Structure 1
Amino acid sequence: MDLRAALIRSTLDGTARVAPRLAGRMAGALFARPVARASQRPEEEPVMRRATRTELVLDGRRAVVHQWGDGVRPVLLMHGWQFRASRWSPLVTALTERGYSPVAFDAPGHGESPGRSTTIVEYRAIARRLHREHGRFAAVVGHSVGGLAAYYAVRGGVEADRLVAISAPSGMDTIAEGFRLGLGVGPWLRPALRRRVEEMFPDEPGLWDGFNATHRPEQLALPMLIVHDEEDDMIPAGESRRVAAVYGDRADLLITRGLGHRRVLADPRVVEAVLDFAAATDPVA
């Protein structure tokens, strides 16, 4: 038995019975904090060594940014939870060979960036800053939680010609339920976590619903490529099917098999599909 997990579970459930708002604040702090920081893999090192590395600061929080290419046709890459920018190495290599200029960042608490926590709101703030620096993106590509953040960022003012979401959840309810099941706590956590997240950002009413990939679909008129593996053990492929159904002809759905949640990023077929999609110029009907 994991004694730490058991202690967290008993503490949260016990607190929820007598002080639900306090339990919500405690759960919110855990929710925003990655359990582990992924290390760079040896095969990623040559790609990362070629990057121009800079750092941006937003409200005192720092994020490391990695850039390749000459700045022409920038593509924004948004990594997933407990992932890092270096996981994009296969796609970065392919994009630069096609004349694109990938831009990737390590969110706070991930990769090379300091800190211990982050939120999708922070992902969007970083994306907005990079949009101001690089201009309109040829594509915004996100993986996992980074895919959900990509929908949120493009709807929130980050301009792009195309959007790619890989292994992404459809919304925060899915993430919250996975978090709850991982902790093994009661159903009280879902509404408590929603309340806490909305309390953290009082200037953004309806924030929880706004995180959904399918929120206000009329606001996302750009073409989308939605990729998911049938055997994803973290986020069910049904999440992407649900999103694709909402966007109809605006979304191409690619379902793979045998890649899971992680290996999908480096699969040559997926990389080629993203390249072909980014390069397509057909207008939306």
Structure 2
Amino acid sequence: MTGQHASAAPSSALDSACRAFSVPQRIQASSLERSVLAQAERTTLPFEDGDIAIWSLGLGPRILLAHGWDSRGSHLAGFIEPLLRAGFAVTLFDLPAHGESGGELSSPVHAGRALAAVADSLGPIHAVIAHSLGSAAALWAFAHGLQVKASVHLCGPSSLSPMVKLQGMAFSLSSEEQALFRSWVEQHIGTQTSAMDLPALKHGLQHPGLIMHDPADRVVPFAASKDLHSHWPASDLVELDGLGHRRILTDAQVIARSCALVSSVSAQQAPA
């Protein structure tokens, strides 16, 4: 199996499930994304198995953008200009084993540690806007001490245990293989999957949140966002239509709603 091996000889389906969980695709930036990144200050942050690539633009309270699995920070480029116009600094970065960051393996825990490290290196973070895996990473970071004024969660998995079960089902694993897969995942992330479930993470949700998700999303079930909302009294849940899992990142209304939340929190906390 990929990473640390389980003791039993893996089937090809089990090995494929392990690889799918831990080895993301590296996606190249489009020409438009490269032109946006060229305007940013690029830095790197030493981190575990490889440096994290970071891009920052603007001045003001800092908004951190976090991307999803098989993605890269520049996929959230549509948020940059509206946030800059609203008076924010914007930082985007590539998670471990994604884009231009180092490393060969990743996971929600790897991503959470990376997000927390980036945030710590930048100083105060006003808000996080996160998609898919980035949302799970943000939940981990909040539970481990990252404090923000607000956060936006787009089509994110909220608990790891059901996602591991769904991935095992997607690879048609037997009951025995499901158990082996879960054990392997826990080896890979260095903790039990329950440590990445909402009951263990919800204490970090002390700020206003906006959750947006299309019930027709075929990648992350809408139930994950409903569950997050139910554990988070200070959150709003918006059901989207026709955006699926990825088109949400370029939808003008989604971007506008996200900017409105982080701006309203900033305005509420501004001195009279």
Q: TM exceeds 0.5?
A: yes
Q: Is 1:43 the counterpart of 2:32 in the alignment?
A: yes
Residue 179 (structure 1) shift: 2.3
User: Which letter maps to 1:63?
Assistant: I
Name 1:196's counterpart in structure 2: 184
Is the CA contact (8 Å cut-off) linking 1:140 and 1:150 kept in structure 2? yes
Q: CA deviation at 1:25?
A: 9.1
CA contact (8 A) 1:85 1:105 kept: yes
Give the corresponding residue for 1:235. Answer: 220
How far apart, CA to CA, are the structure 1 residues paired with 2:34 and 2:189? 37
- Aligned partner of 1:4 in structure 2 is none
What is the rounded CA distance, in whole Å, between the counterparts of 1:76 and 1:187 in structure 2? 40
Match of 1:210 in 2: 195
TM-superposed CA distance for 1:92, in Å, is 1.3
Match of 1:255 among 230, 239, 244: 239
Q: Is the 8 A contact 1:148 1:213 kept in 2?
A: no
Q: For residues 28-51 of structure 1, give each alpha carbon's deviation from its aligned partner in whole angstroms, at most 9, with x where no partner exists.
A: 4552111x3222223323221111
2:102 is the counterpart of 1:114: yes
Structure 1 Cα separation of the partners of residues 49 and 97 of structure 2: 14
2:170 aligned with 1:145, yes or no? no
The within-5 A match list for 1:26-175 is: 26=15, 28-34=18-24, 36-70=25-59, 72-175=60-163
Q: Describe the shift of the 1:137–1:48 C-alpha distance in structure 2 as closer, same or farther (beyond 3 A).
A: same
Counterparts of 2:165 and 2:39, CA distance in 1: 39
Of 261, 266, 277, 2:250 maps to 266
Q: Pick closer, same or farther for the CA change 1:131–1:37 going to 2, 3 Å.
A: closer
The number of residue pairs the alignment matches comes to: 262
Residue by residue over 1:89-116, the C-alpha shift from the partner in whole angstroms, topping out at 9 and shown as x without a partner, is 1111211111111111111221122332
Q: State the match for 1:12 in structure 2.
A: none
Aligned to 2:207: 222
Cα separation, 2, equivalents of 1:121 and 1:174: 15
> Secondary structure at 2:243's aligned position in 1?
coil
Could you say what secondary structure the match of 1:260 adopts? coil
Contact 1:124 1:156 in 2 (8 A): no
Secondary structure of residue in 2 paired with 1:269: helix
User: Cα deviations across residues 58-79 of structure 1 (Å, max 9, x unaligned)?
Assistant: 2342221111113x21111111
Structure 1 unaligned residues grouped into runs of 5+: 1-7, 9-14
Gap change, CA 1:264 and 1:218, over 3 Å in 2: same
Q: Offset of 1:229 from its aligned partner? A: 1.1
Contact 2:96 2:114 (8 Å CA) reproduced:
no
TM-score, scaled relative to structure 2: 0.86
Match of 1:3 in 2: none
| In 2, Cα distance between equivalents of 1:111 and 1:149 | 17
8 Å CA contact 1:47–1:93 kept in 2: the answer is: no
Matching of residue 278 in structure 1 with residue 262 in structure 2: yes
> Aligned partner of 1:76: which letter?
L
**Root-mean-square deviation over aligned CA pairs:** 2.6
- Unmatched 5+ residue regions in structure 2? none
Residue 11 (structure 1) aligns with: none
Contact 1:148/1:212 (<8 A) preserved: no
Q: Aligned AA for 1:237?
A: F
